Amino acid sequence: MPIRADVRIIAATHRDLNKQVKAGHFREDLFYRLNVVPIRLPPLRDRTEDIPELVEHFFARGAESGLPFKVIHPTAMDVLMRNSWPGNVRELENLVQRLAALYSDETITADIVREELSEAAVNSSRVAAGDEDQTLSSAIEGHLVRIFAKSEGGRPENGLYNRVLQEMERPLIRQTLASTRGNQIKAAEILGLNRNTLRKKIRELDIEVFRGPV
């Protein structure tokens, strides 16, 4: 027996659905059912005045989950507001989550923010350029091509294998720890590592971990 329901559907996407429909990748009938009142939300880089309020909101939400509430130094906020934010609001949210989970400092300084943004930029440079479907393997290959191209005579310094592994391991472990709010047991389970192995990696890669309530 059919049941009538009064609902409102709000759908969001970062893709151009007109192009997706023409390419046959999105159902045309569904597109016209959804595309009744289109609303364009400007990217974060075009509304930087929202950043302070968003940062406070994300820190407060983290505090509700057991993380300590952080304070952003004014110079650090300036760094955040000058960033281009290719990953939009989700990128800012992920950054705030990492700051809350990985740093014991009550006040987040500009140097901490620059370090996080610099590392994130390296890891997402290809995605920011528009290559959304790129695999990890192709990203690493592109990074290696640049390393060899910039090396004298096309030959990097010895020890490349370990350097590349560390470049991959550090953001992998940091992001996993951020997702578990610093809980190393849960992080080890997600990574499929022994807890002692994870601890060793954290020491070797000099990863700071917040060890407060989770």
* Cα distance between residue 44 and residue 90, in whole Å: 10
> Which strand (E) or helix (H) includes residue 108?
strand 107-108
pLDDT digits (tens, 9 = 90+) for 108-160: 999 999 888 877 665 555 444 445 555 677 677 767 767 776 777 667 888 88
Q: Which amino acid is at 2?
A: P
Residues 6+ apart with CB under 8 A from 192: none
Residues 6+ apart with CB under 8 A from 81: 48, 51, 52
Mean pLDDT by 10 residues, the chain (214 residues): 86 83 88 86 90 94 84 94 86 88 88 83 52 64 71 79 87 88 90 92 84 50
* Cα distance between residue 82 and residue 154, in whole Å: 36
Residues 6+ apart with CB under 8 A from 90: none
Closest to 90 in 3D by CA, of 38, 139, 44, 136: 44
Residue 149: per-residue pLDDT:
64
